Amino acid sequence: MTRTCLVVDDSRVVRKVARRILEAHGFAVAEAEDGQKALDACRLGLPDCVLLDWNMPVMDGITFLHHLRQEFGPEKPPVVFCTTENDLSHIELAIAAGAQEYIMKPFDDEILSGKLSQVGL
């Protein structure tokens, strides 16, 4: 069965780059431009994983993650943060909130596919 990934990022360019990589690895990709839209999408149906930006309008990534874990439990879907926030305190915060992996932008195919493989996809 095709695996699904929800790409949450307010940058159209980042979403496009991520989509291209993910589709090349056999994922079906859905997009959301902020945390609220991502949460709405998850309520309609959970993806197999979420690629999540931190800084976004309306609802940021960490707030989305808190809601996601509260509503759907601590593990699924696996969440990989993908953000320009690259200091240890942000990474620790993300893990504490329930993110399974963390990508510091910029990223490429190798990093993204490697991180998805690390979360079991």
Partner 1 sequence: MTPSAFSTFAALLKSRSGLVIGPDKTYLLETRLAPILKREKLNDLTALAERLTKPGADNLARDVVEAMTTNESFFFRDDKPFTHFRTQALPRLLANRPANAAIRIWSAAASSGQEAYSLAMILADAKAQLAGRTVEIIGTDIARDQLNRAREGLYTQFEVQRGLPVQMLVKHFRKEDSNWRLSDTIRSMVRFKEFNLLSDPRTLGRFDVVFCRNVLIYFDPPTKARVLDGIAAQMPADGALYLGGAETVLGITGRFAPLQGERGVYGLTPARAAA
Binding-site ranges for partner 1 (CB under 8 A): 86-88, 91-92, 95, 101-104, 107, 110-111, 114-115, 117-118
Structure tokens, 49? 């994983």
Is residue 58 within 8 Å of 9, Cβ to Cβ? no
Name which of 30 and 121 has its Cβ closer to partner 1: 121
CA dihedral 37, 11, 80, 113 (to 10 degrees): 130
H/E segment holding residue 85: none
Smallest distance, partner 1 to C-beta of residue 97, A: 13
Smallest distance, partner 1 to C-beta of residue 25, A: 16
Smallest distance, partner 1 to C-beta of residue 101, A: 5
Smallest distance, partner 1 to C-beta of residue 99, A: 8
Q: What are phi and psi of 51, to 5 degrees?
A: -105, 120
Name which of 1 and 88 has its Cβ closer to partner 1: 88
Structure tokens, 118? 């690390």
Name which of 60 and 101 has its Cβ closer to partner 1: 101
Structure tokens, 18? 């991520």
